[in-house]
Amino acid sequence: MRQKIVSLLEEHISVLEGLRDDVAAIEDAAQLMIEALRDGGAVYLFGNGGSAADAQHIAAELQGRFTLNRPALRAFALTTNTSTITAIANDYGYERVFSRQLEGMVRSGDVVVGISTSGASPNVLQGLATARRFGAKTIALVGKNPANVLFNACDVVISVPSSITARVQECHILIGHILCELVEKALFS
């Protein structure tokens, strides 16, 4: 068991080291979020499964606080309202659960963050495409080798260099924390 633990830690460290290649993309994503929030816009986040939990976690850090006591920021996870999600899924199909919500909320000047370990989730792709159609800036947090269509739907793609779901999700929450810290420092320090 001890060797397995060491092996998993080494695998995680290796992926983190590879993430250094995406520092510019993380910086670009932070800048988009800072500009949107500074100008009165909002940040919308979504994903499926563990990525839905990550969306909620990041939104909570922005609405509540991360490291600073400061005013709340306009950040919303589109994964929390089960009545909305199930109504849209029932009436329009699961692939529309995020895009339909965005049609009613997103505006030019907002930022939309789609999280997908595979980078190929149809509902995440549709949500990002809808956000662009309404003039929002788009960010994707994905794993290795995302769908090519994703690059056409996003202003910034942050790709974790792994296809192992657990390693990708571990890095996504780290990236989320980095983004929150950069946003706070830029807006409130």
Domain count, the chain: 1
Please say if the pLDDT value at position 169 is more than 90: yes
**pLDDT tens-digit readout, 57-94:** 999 999 999 999 999 999 999 999 999 999 999 999 99
**pLDDT tens-digit readout, 101-114:** 999 999 999 999 99
> The domain containing residue 91 runs over which residues?
2-188
What's the mean pLDDT in 8-16? 92
Please say if the pLDDT value at position 7 is more than 80: yes
Q: Which residues are bridge partners to 43 per DSSP?
A: 75, 111
Task: Name, in order, each residue with C-beta under 8 angstroms of 110's C-beta and a sequence gap of 6 or more.
Answer: 36, 41, 42, 43, 44, 131, 136, 137
pLDDT, averaged across the chain: 96
| Phi, psi (deg, nearest 5) at residue 26 | -65, -45
pLDDT for res 147: 77
Residue 14's domain is classified under what CATH number? 3.40.50.10490
Please say if the pLDDT value at position 189 is more than 90: no
